Amino acid sequence: MTLPRRRFDTLVIGAGGGGLRAALQLAQAEANVAVVSKVFPTRSHTVAAQGGINAALANVLPDNWHWHMYDTIKGSDYLGDQDAIEYMCRAAAHLVIELEHAGVPFSRQADGRIYQRRFGGQSQNFGGEQAARTCAAADRTGHAILHTLYQQNIRARTHFFDEYFAVDLLRDEQGYILGALVLEIETGEPLIIEAKTTLIASGGAGQLFRTNTNAHINTGDGMAMALRAGIPLQDMEFFQFHPTGIAGKGMLISEGVRGEGGYLINRDGERFMERYAPHALDLASRDVVSRAIYTEVKAGRGCGPKYDHVLLKLDHLGEAVIAQRLPAIRDMARTFLHIDPVEQPIPVYPTAHYTMGGIPTDRHGRVVVPAGHGEERIPGLYAVGECACVSVHGANRLGGNSLLDIVVFGRAAGNDIIEYLKENRYHRPLSDDGIAAAMARLTRWEQRGDGESVDGLRRELQQVMEEHCGVFRTQAVLEEGLAKVRQLRARLDHAVLKDHSRIFNTARIEALELENLVELGLATVASALGRNESRGAHSRVDYPQRDDERWLRHSLYFRDGETLDYKPVRMKPLTVESFPPQERVY
């Protein structure tokens, strides 16, 4: 089979903040870089990030990177790797300044410096008073950063393949990743992109759950591609439920609302976070606040006719603050709820938001897998952002750390790729075998006849994940969930499409996406079933305590045989003392 081929030094899969930051680094170093994205770059989900990006600039309150490091480790429930976290927190200020220089329209303080707001899990002086570390462009920080990074890539003349869907990685017998098979959505034509290095920056898998804050495109394609290439996924049991999605609908209401002084109340009008986090209150970590809301509702103290949500009150902030700092939140409440938060509280409930787990990497974005007693890299393969697991977020990500993660590690991966390219100057030969396997993914959907619909199966998967792998979990419920997801995977083999057109066939794209989601659903439930403790976002009712003796380690899920393995947490930072696990109270 002869497919058209293109050749680049680097293939970047995904045009969110991570992919674009890496591409910029590479383009500026005059590497030949191609960015493949299934949507036009500014439609990537980074655009929806609201609250801001963490960096200890100390523009508002005293701060330094070491405190940020402590908060991130504590937030991660000590599952984060401390070398990577030190690296990220030290780099943060520089990276944010770089974004400002690139044109990001950050909000400003009276003295002209970047405005910073209070966010969850932040403290001064290692657990002391609340810090203000989150640099914000009103409540549209992700939009501002994504557009700026795309704009700078236009300037750097990065080569974009807009509306191309990545099908699978191509690999040779020595294990080198040599690029990917992609599909041009407009024409339906497959294309091989050969690359000396491939960076996966394809984002998270929020579409696993029925109610989520994520875009339709967040189907974890790159993570599933890694699984199919024999690479394990790390810490997939840790899925963040954001405390404040619009109840019943899922749209994100930024933590910035609480950062600006908003707070949660139950049906008695009680500010219930006082009972769950006496010190940090509504700005405790997201896992803590989500569990609190869930518990309030479960205890019958929920609001509304069905007692099924709580209220986020912000009317006391006044119209001026809301208009200036939270304009998009106000728009969203008006559009989707027909209420003005200047007058009325917003009904909220925990909503699937962020994939902490992902493709295991080191702090240079290099994908690593177990080998002997240690790890070895997959040559030519990198991953950054939500699809990757460095791990800087461990068992629970802090708000404001995801935008930071993508720019820090996007840049780091770009730099490491530049070094790799110096040593690996030539394309390695690409055999037809790998291409045939990837092509089989496409031809499978040419099957006609009767069968279940992709849409129906996706809805079922989302329902199963919500019911069996939500905020609180037990062995029995997870086991049932695992069986159900396995059944769904078997049924998916017999699903058929009614749309067989080549031209802009979104039904086919959604089928390929669902195959990816099902793999990730299995990874998530199997990893959750394996971890018999409660840590961060993973709450096991049957194992309510954190168990550092047995479980201070990362999970690795392999697709072959659905097996689990474990590896130690890197407790040793780069230069400072380690933060040993402590009881986590807010």
Per-residue 3-state assignment (H helix, E strand, C coil) for 446-483: HCCCCCCCHHHHHHHHHHHHHHHCCCEECHHHHHHHHH
Q: How many other CB atoms sit within 10 Å of the CB of residue 175?
A: 15
Q: Quick check: 38 and 185 in contact, CB under 8 A? A: yes
Interacting residue ranges for another protein, rule: CB under 8 A: 39-40, 42-45, 47-48, 96-97, 100-103, 105-114, 137, 140, 143-144, 147-148, 151-152, 154-155, 186, 215-217, 249, 251-252, 328, 331-332, 335-337, 453, 455-456, 497-499, 501-507
Distance of closest approach, residue 331 Cβ to another protein, in angstroms: 8
Instruction: At 517, list the tokens.
Output: 């989601």
Phi-psi bin for 285: left (phi > 0), alpha (psi -120 to 50), beta? beta
Of 105 and 581, which has the nearer Cβ to another protein?
105
Is 286 a catalytic site residue?
Answer: yes
Task: Pick the closer one to another protein by CB: 46 or 197.
Answer: 46
Nearer to another protein, 328 or 576 (CB): 328
Tokens for 152, please give them.
Answer: 């700078």
Minimum CB distance to another protein, residue 498 (Å):
4
DSSP string, 95-153: HHHHHHHHT----B-TTSSBPEEEEEEEESTTTSSEEEEEE-STT-HHHHHHHHHHHHH
Long-range contacts, 506-513 (Cβ 8 Å, 24+): 506/185, 507/454, 508/188, 508/445, 509/38, 509/165, 509/183, 509/185, 510/454, 510/455, 510/458, 511/445, 511/454, 512/165, 512/167, 512/221, 512/441, 512/442, 512/445, 513/207, 513/219, 513/221
Which lies closer to another protein via its Cβ, residue 330 or residue 535?
Answer: 330
Provide the minimum distance between the beta carbon of 405 and another protein in the complex, in angstroms, as a whole number: 20
d(CA 405, CA 411): 10
Closer residue to another protein in complex, CB, 174/335: 335
What size, in residues, is the chain?
586
Q: Min. distance of Cβ 141 from another protein in angstroms?
A: 11
Minimum CB distance to another protein, residue 106 (Å): 7
Catalytic residue among 140, 258, 286, 540: 286
Quote the least distance from Cβ 97 to another protein, whole Å. Answer: 6
Exposure on the CB side of residue 39, measured as CA atoms within 13 A: 15
Nearer to another protein (CB atom), residue 451 or residue 581? 451
Closest CA to 234 of 387, 95, 411, 36: 387
Which residues are marked as active site?
286
